[in-house]
């Protein structure tokens, strides 16, 4: 087996299920033994009525009772084994697919157009795992034994067999109707739940804005609309499932009474023994119990099946391939060749025909008005947005020729909206690398000029910053994120508005960090709105309406865009301030 397969990267849902086939065979064997042992009650009652009562033999009753008790013990043991095997199958699927699903979850927003909060795949996986650990699969394994029980009912008497067949057919129809009528509401309930959760998460992320600007009441109305849709679809699904479940339960009880009545008629007419009445009633009830249980768990089955299909579709849309040949670390240049890019799966271009080259030791400032495509260019340079035309190359190798993890070691990225993860400052700086050394972490903090800030925190580098870095101010989060971008001395460092939350001290630290990257032979790309970010750059690229308007040495480009007849006033102001800051 290749390394890719052995570490779980090439596992798909079908393969994961095939790997569990031995365990499923074991569950089938345990189910067979359980269903055979379920005959204990019927035959015990048959022997009591036909042998013990006519003979009035207490020793025979004791012997039969001890035998029945022993068989019940085995039945309970096999039931326990079957349940534990199903739980362990769910665990095995989790071990096989969890990492693959997580990688797809992270990759999906960069490759596909996502709806809801983007966590549907995780909920789908939980749904499948929960169903495997429930009573639903056991009922499905018991269903094939229905003909076996009906055959024994025929051995008791053909009338009892035909009554059981009629009951089985009616319950089968009820099962089909349950399946047909719950599929659409269950799917709509899942979609409505995803939209509702996405709205709730967005409200949490923007809690300060909601509270400060008095938006709570209006957003509450929107929440009620989304929650009402979810509630209605969920209620409809539950009503259908519970209705068919109650109907099947009542019908099975009525059928059991019908078998008793049929048995009584047979006994009166001398065609069967008294034991047949009770034994046939117990056996018929047992024969149809899996059908009733399946109907009761049908909603879970439908949800699990829909979740499994969505997981298969997602993983099929995001295949994992063998890692490409490892390339040497880039050291020379960044080349952008007639690049056109836009949001993943949107088929909409934000910028087109951008081409330039930056050599080691240089820093490029990207300027332009809002909406000109600067941040979009930054995302394309690091490979998180697709290149619909053209390419981005490091030392001549296009980004798609690199393994994503290997490429990440050579790239540092500071996004416009900084996100940190729950954990310590040190863990966030080292990108949660298990083999990170204290020296490398301190070196990154020193390069970002954030070491003193970290040491003033309550526990220094071991300070827990909370979910999203809530324990830090916006400026502190941005500086820690800069240290994360510089960790490991990456060759290409892309900074998207890196000084948006910085004070004068932070901006000075940023300029020094950029100069240090240049000094060690790296490349820095700075997306700039504030002109002070251009102080340490030697190249400037001007973006306008999704196209590159100018590229070259900083003084040359700024002098060009300073001409009033060539530029808009807003661009004039940016360029003028940038030149002033650079001087």
Q: What is the CATH number of the domain that holds 500?
A: 3.40.50.300
Structure letter (DSSP) for residue 416: S
- Pull the structure tokens for residue 21: 């086939």
Assess if residue 569 is contained within a domain: no
Considering its fold, how many domains does the chain have in total? 2
Do both 20 and 163 map to the same domain? yes
Q: Which of 289, 75, 293, 39 is nearest to 152 (CA)?
A: 39
Is 363 found in the same domain as 296? no
Q: Give residue 212's pLDDT.
A: 66
In a domain, 116, yes or no: yes
328 domain residue, yes or no: no
Q: Retrieve residue 291's tokens.
A: 């059908």
576 located within any domain: no
Residue 402 and residue 376 in one domain: yes
Helix (H, G, I), strand (E, B) or coil at 343: coil
Residue 492 has a pLDDT of: 93
CA angle 435, 441, 447 (to 5 degrees): 145
Q: What is the pLDDT of residue 583?
A: 39
Does residue 64 share a domain with residue 19? yes
CATH number for 37: 1.20.1560.10
Q: 3 lies in a domain?
A: no
The answer on 352 and 224 residing in a single domain is no
Q: Which of 349, 358, 345, 356 is nearest to 391 (CA)?
A: 356
Q: Is residue 292 domain-shared with residue 339, that is, in the same domain? A: no
Q: Which residue, chain included where needed, has tokens 């040491």?
A: 455
Spell out the residues 6+ positions from residue 76 whose beta carbon is closer than 8 angstroms to its own: none
Residue 577: inside a domain, yes or no? Answer: no
Whether 90 and 235 share a structural domain: yes
Rg (CA), the chain: 34
Whether residues 379 and 261 share a domain: the answer is no
One domain for residues 301 and 356: no
Flag whether 575 is in a domain. no
Specify the DSSP class assigned to residue 49.
I
Domain that includes residue 22, residue range: 13-317
pLDDT < 50: residue spans in the chain: 1-8, 564-583
Residues composing the chain? 583
Distance CA 447, CA 485 (A): 10
Residue 568 in any domain: the answer is no
**Residue 117: per-residue pLDDT:** 56
Whether residue 510 sits in one domain with residue 365: yes
Whole-number pLDDT of residue 366: 92
One domain, residues 293 and 397: no
């Amino acid at each position: 087996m290749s390394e890719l397969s052995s570490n779980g990267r090439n596992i798909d849902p079908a393969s994961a299920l095939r790997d569990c086939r031995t365990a499923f065979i074991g569950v089938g064997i345990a189910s067979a033994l359980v269903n055979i042992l379920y005959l204990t009650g019927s035959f015990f009652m048959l022997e009591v009525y036909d042998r013990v009562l006519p003979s009035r033999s207490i020793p025979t009753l004791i012997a039969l009772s001890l035998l029945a008790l022993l068989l019940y013990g085995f039945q309970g043991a096999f039931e326990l084994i079957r349940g534990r095997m199903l739980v362990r199958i769910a665990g095995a699927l989790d071990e096989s697919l969890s990492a693959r699903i997580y990688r797809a979850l992270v990759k999906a927003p960069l490759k596909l157009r996502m709806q809801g909060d983007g966590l549907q795949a995780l909920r789908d996986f939980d749904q499948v795992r929960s169903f495997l650990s429930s009573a639903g699969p056991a009922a499905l394994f018991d269903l094939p034994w229905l003909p076996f029980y009906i055959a024994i009912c025929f051995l008791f008497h053909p009338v009892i067999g035909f009554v059981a067949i009629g009951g089985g057919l009616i319950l089968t129809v009820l099962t089909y109707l349950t399946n047909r009528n719950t599929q659409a509401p269950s799917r709509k309930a899942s979609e409505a739940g995803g939209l509702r959760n996405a709205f709730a998460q967005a409200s949490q992320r923007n809690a300060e804005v909601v509270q400060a600007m008095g938006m709570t009441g209006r957003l509450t109305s929107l929440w009620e609309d989304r929650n009402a849709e979810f509630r209605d679809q969920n209620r409809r699904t539950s009503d259908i499932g519970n209705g068919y479940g109650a109907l099947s339960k009542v019908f099975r009880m009525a059928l059991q009474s019908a078998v008793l009545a049929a048995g009584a008629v047979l006994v009166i007419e001398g065609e069967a023994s008294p034991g047949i009445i009770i034994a046939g009633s117990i056996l018929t009830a047992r024969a149809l119990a899996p059908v009733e249980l399946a109907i009761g768990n049908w909603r879970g089955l439908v949800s699990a099946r829909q979740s499994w299909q969505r997981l298969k579709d997602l993983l099929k849309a995001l295949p994992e391939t063998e890692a490409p040949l490892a390339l040497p670390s880039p050291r020379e240049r960044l080349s952008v060749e007639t690049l056109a890019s836009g949001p993943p799966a949107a088929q909409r271009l934000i910028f087109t025909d951008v081409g330039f080259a930056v050599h080691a030791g240089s820093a490029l400032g990207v300027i332009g008005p809002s909406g000109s495509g600067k941040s979009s260019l930054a995302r394309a340079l690091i490979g998180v947005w697709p290149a619909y035309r053209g390419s981005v190359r490091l030392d001549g190798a296009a980004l798609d020729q690199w393994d994503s993890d290997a490429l990440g070691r050579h790239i540092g990225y500071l996004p416009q909206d900084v996100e940190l993860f729950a954990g310590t400052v040190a863990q966030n700086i080292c990108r949660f690398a298990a083999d990170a050394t204290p020296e490398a972490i301190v070196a990154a903090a020193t390069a970002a000029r954030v070491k003193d800030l970290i040491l003033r925190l309550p526990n220094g580098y071991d300070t827990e910053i909370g979910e999203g870095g809530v324990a830090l101010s916006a400026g502190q989060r941005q500086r820690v994120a800069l240290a994360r971008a510089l960790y490991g001395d990456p060759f290409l460092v892309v900074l998207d508005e890196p000084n948006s939350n910085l004070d004068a001290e932070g901006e000075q630290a940023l300029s020094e960090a950029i100069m240090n990257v240049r000094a060690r032979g790296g490349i820095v790309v700075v997306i700039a709105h504030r002109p002070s970010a251009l102080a340490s750059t030697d190249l400037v690229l001007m973006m306008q309406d999704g196209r590159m308007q100018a590229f070259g040495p900083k003084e040359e480009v700024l002098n060009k865009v300073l001409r009033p007849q060539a530029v808009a006033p807003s661009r004039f102001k940016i360029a003028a301030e940038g030149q002033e800051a650079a001087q």
